[in-house]
C-alpha cells in the first residue's frame, strides 16, 4: 500500500512538472517577436534566428561600426597568442591565453565579411553605432535604464543584439527599428499587447 501511494505521488509530481514546463514554453513563445518597452525610451524584442548568419540580415550597412562586447576567441583552452603583452609582441610559442574577454570595434562591412568566412564560437553581443564609443563608456559599469540612456546619449546606438541559449534579444531606442528588423527576418510582429505595439 505504501509503495502504491509513493508511485501515485511520483506520478502526480511528473504531471505537475510536465504542466509547468508546458506553461513556461507557452509563455516563452508568447514573448517572441513581441516589442515591449524594456525601459522608458528603450524597447526590446526576443527573436529566434534560424542560423548565426541571420545576424547579417539585421546589420545596417549605412552604420559605420559594429561594437562587439565581451568577445572570447579562446574560451577555456590554452591557445598560443601573439597579442601585445607589456607593450611588446610576444613569442606565441611561449605565451598562451584563455578566457579572454575583449571589446572590438569594427568597420561594419568588414565585420560582415569576416562573419561570412568564419564561425561564431560563443554567444555574440553586438551594438551598431555611427560613433566611436568614448573611453569612459564601459558597459560593465552601467546597468538597466542608465546603461541604455548612456548608449543613446553618447553614441546614439541603432540597436544592441544579445545572443542567448534559447533566443536573441534586440534592444533599441526606436520601435520602428525593431519592426523593420522583424520584416528583414520575415517574422510576424506579435501584437498581443496592443498597448505596447500600437
* pLDDT tens digits, one per residue of 70-129: 887 777 788 888 888 888 888 888 888 888 888 999 999 999 998 888 777 778 899 999
Confirm whether 173 is domain-assigned. Answer: yes
Domains: count for the chain: 1
* 95 falls within a domain: no
More confident residue, 20 or 47: 47
* Residue at 56 is within a domain: yes
Count Cβ atoms within 10 A of the Cβ of residue 128 and give its class: 0-12 exposed, 13-18 middle, 19 or more buried. Answer: buried
Task: Provide mean pLDDT across the span 16-43.
Answer: 72
Give the range among 129-133, 142-146, 163-167 with minimum mean pLDDT: 163-167
pLDDT above 50 for 171: yes
Helices marked H in the chain — which ranges?
A: 2-31, 55-58, 108-117, 144-155, 175-184, 194-197
144 within some domain: yes
pLDDT class of 66 with cuts at 50, 70, 90:
very high
What pLDDT digit, counting tens, does each position of 136-147 carry? 999 989 999 999
Indicate whether this model's pTM tops 0.85: no
The reply to whether 53 falls in a domain is yes
From residue 22, alpha-carbon distances to 11, 16, 109, 185 in Å are 17, 10, 42, 27
Range of the domain at 59: 31-74+100-197
Q: Is residue 48 part of a domain?
A: yes
4 domain-assigned: no
- Residue 22, in any domain of the structure: no
Cβ 172 vs Cβ 161: under 8 Å: no
Amino acid at each position: 500500500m505504501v509503495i502504491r501511494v509513493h508511485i501515485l505521488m511520483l506520478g502526480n509530481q511528473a504531471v505537475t512538472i510536465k504542466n509547468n514546463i508546458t506553461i513556461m514554453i507557452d509563455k516563452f513563445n508568447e514573448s517572441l517577436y513581441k516589442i515591449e518597452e524594456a525601459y522608458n525610451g528603450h524597447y526590446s524584442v526576443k527573436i529566434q534566428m534560424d542560423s548565426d548568419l541571420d545576424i547579417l540580415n539585421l546589420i545596417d550597412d549605412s552604420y559605420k561600426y559594429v561594437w562587439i562586447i565581451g568577445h572570447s576567441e579562446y574560451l577555456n583552452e590554452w591557445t598560443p597568442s601573439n597579442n601585445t603583452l607589456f607593450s611588446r609582441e610576444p613569442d606565441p610559442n611561449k605565451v598562451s591565453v584563455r578566457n579572454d574577454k575583449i571589446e572590438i570595434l569594427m568597420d561594419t562591412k568588414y565585420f560582415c565579411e569576416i562573419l561570412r568566412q568564419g564561425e561564431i564560437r560563443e554567444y555574440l553581443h553586438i551594438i551598431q553605432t555611427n560613433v566611436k564609443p568614448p573611453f569612459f563608456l564601459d558597459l560593465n559599469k552601467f546597468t538597466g535604464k542608465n546603461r541604455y540612456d548612456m548608449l543613446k546619449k553618447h553614441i546614439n546606438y541603432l540597436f544592441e543584439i544579445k545572443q542567448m541559449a534559447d533566443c536573441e534579444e534586440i534592444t533599441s531606442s526606436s520601435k520602428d527599428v525593431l519592426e523593420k528588423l522583424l520584416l528583414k527576418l520575415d517574422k510576424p510582429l506579435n501584437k498581443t499587447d496592443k498597448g505596447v505595439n500600437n
